[in-house]
Amino acid sequence: MKLLRNNLLEAFCAVVECGGFSEAQFRLGISQSAISCRIRDLEIALGYRVCERGRSGFQLTERGKIAYEKACEIIRMVEDFDAELLELRGTITGQLRIGIVDTVISLPGFPLVPALQRFFSKENDVNLEIVVASPNDLKEGLITGSLHIALAPFKRKRDELEYIKVCSENHFLYCGREHELFDAGKDEISPEILSNHAVCQRSYDMIVARDAKTPEPKAIVTNMEAAAALILSGKFLGVLPDHYATQWVETSNMRLLEHPNLTWTSEFYVASRKSQSHRQAVEWFIKALLQDRVI
């Protein structure tokens, strides 16, 4: 239930966050033509264009970028207003948007599933949305207000956000069955192999080996599944979390290239905005996440 709402601003923000009208229709539950009418009405009310749309795709104008930031602020305030008033009746309510990175459900100590069990064991009227994205995108989502909580290995902290460590994730270097290093002896495995073989790198977390130069990536990926596909092809080395790679190591489709200087650790944090007025739904869920944390 929304006590206050602005259909024009909500449609505008949805189009921006979905990257266009086509995807926004599924979030809003209305047709593209209806969305187009709302964007047109918004531009008439503002007296300027907020976006360019056509064959070249959707793109914000310079004024549109500013309008989007302001619209997000207004929508956040309205959501907080609605939730705070409705919570007076004794029910946890409102929207709860959580962001995570991919391939983390098998991570030992990752608190999402137990937190969901605890949270939904209590009576509430919360609409939940879980988004999977890179740490950088999750960070921006928290800042813009499109996310309330995010769980990820945030290496570069932002002053606007609060971080609480929840667990750690171990990463190792792997090759596929068809790679020439798959049958190499242990004495052939050293940091120098990063310079001698094609390496796939994550766009948001470039690997750096101790006692070796940072490898020049031959392929860039934005998620773990893409990295696994390149490694399994036998044409690339790549870094994966051990809990995720185990399924292929156990079937001899991947090999862990073991060396003390070819290991990495990611620290996972629960992050939220410092400045937001934490509604009960956000507070409860953060408490549920931290109840069994491993540090």
**Tokens in use for 107?**
């991570």
Q: Rounded to two decimals, what is the model's pTM?
A: 0.75
Q: Structural domain boundaries of the chain?
A: 1-89, 168-266
According to the model, what pLDDT value does residue 27 have?
Answer: 86
Q: Alpha-carbon distance 98 to 116, whole Å?
A: 11
Q: What would the pLDDT profile of 25-43 be if each residue is shown by its tens digit?
A: 888 889 989 999 999 999 9
CATH code for the structural domain at 1-89: 1.10.10.10
Q: Which among 96, 109, 92, 105 is positioned nearest to 150, based on CA atoms?
A: 96
According to the model, what pLDDT value does residue 280 have?
Answer: 79
Which of the four pLDDT bands, split at 50, 70 and 90, describes residue 83? low
Q: Which residue shows structure tokens 């608190």? A: 111
Q: What would the pLDDT profile of 108-162 be if each residue is shown by its tens digit?
A: 999 999 999 999 998 888 889 999 999 999 998 998 878 999 999 998 899 989 9
Pick the CATH number of 168-266 from 3.30.70.580, 3.20.20.80, 3.40.190.290, 3.40.50.10490: 3.40.190.290
**Tokens in use for 198?**
């094609």
pLDDT, mean over the chain: 87
Q: Which among 187, 231, 189 is positioned nearest to 212, based on CA atoms?
A: 189
**Tokens in use for 281?**
């739904």
Share of the chain above pLDDT 70, in %: 89
Span between the terminal Cα atoms of the chain, in Å = 39
Residue 89 above 80 pLDDT? no
According to the model, what pLDDT value does residue 114 have?
Answer: 94
For residues 154 and 139, the answer to whether their CB atoms sit within 8 Å is yes
Residue 294 above 60 pLDDT? no
Q: What would the pLDDT profile of 219-235 be if each residue is shown by its tens digit?
A: 899 899 999 999 999 99
For residues 95 and 79, the answer to whether their CB atoms sit within 8 Å is yes
Residue 5 above 80 pLDDT? no
Q: Which among 199, 180, 179 is positioned nearest to 191, based on CA atoms?
A: 199
